[in-house]
Amino acid sequence: MAEFQEKIVHANGLDFGVKQWGSPDGTPTLGLHGWLDNAGTYDQLAPQLNALNFCAMDMAGHGLSTHRPPGCHYYITDYISDAIAIADRLSWPSFNLIGHSLGANVSLMLAGAYPDRIKKLVLIEGFGPHTRPAGAAGSQIRSAFAKMKNFDPNLQLIYNTWDEIVEKRMVGGTVVNRQAAESLCRRGTKDVSGGWTWRSDPRLRYASPLRFPEEEICALIAEVTAPTCLILGETGLPPAFMGIETRKKQHKNLSIETLPGQHHLHLEDQSGSVAAVINQFLEE
């Protein structure tokens, strides 16, 4: 399923860029990407997946999707609403979910909130959002709003050449190889006067004033009924960072696979190994 189609899907008052691989008759499968990434994160993996109608969406403020209106924020619950709205627009009463990093966190929460909608769940390097201690809501809100005051949402970094912005992505945030960086930059950058800049909404870098207590995330995980495969990279995010030891005890049907590779293992040289695990899981 190497060929893909580009779509724009209107939902929740926004236009979402969507890359679709496979046959419309395949199993409906929605792909969600990581923070500051885009649907290009599936460029290597998607062509290796079997018998799917795989639609990878640019989440709001990322890639080819529109930014949220002035005065709005990017709360994780909004991403859940967007994903459900996209599935509704695609006329999918139930579907598989594949998510990476932030997209995995959103996918896990969505599967807990809407268990009747999700057939199978694949999580790559993500197992739920960051949480806060009980009783820390006030300090979380104050800290986030203080950081927002010192943040310029109109700041636009311009890089002189395509190579320069690709090289910046190779070392920015989580390290990726050049092929992976080019996949993300093709969809995540734009040519402007004087060079290249990012398409993503600068407000995505705002600290969130809203975080759930760990107990609530564990309760939400307990609501997930879809068989779930969690794929980790040997040199990816530390399991403790994702809270796996505590959270996995809440899941009724979870398998965990650890493969060679780092945080973007599905977009790098290990994509074939990731695809093999996913194909076997989805075909069981």
Enumerate the active-site residues.
Answer: 101
Both tokens of residue 265? Answer: 């293992």
DSSP per-residue string spanning 227-271: -EEEEEETTSS-GGGGTHHHHGGG-SSEEEEEESS-TTGGGSTTH
Pairing of strands 95-100, 27-32: parallel
Q: How far apart are alpha carbons 67 and 156 in whole angstroms?
A: 15
Residue with tokens 């190889």, as numbered in its chain:
177
- Closest by CA position to 176, among listed 108, 125, 239, 244: 125
Count of Cβ atoms closer than 10 Å to residue 209 Cβ = 16
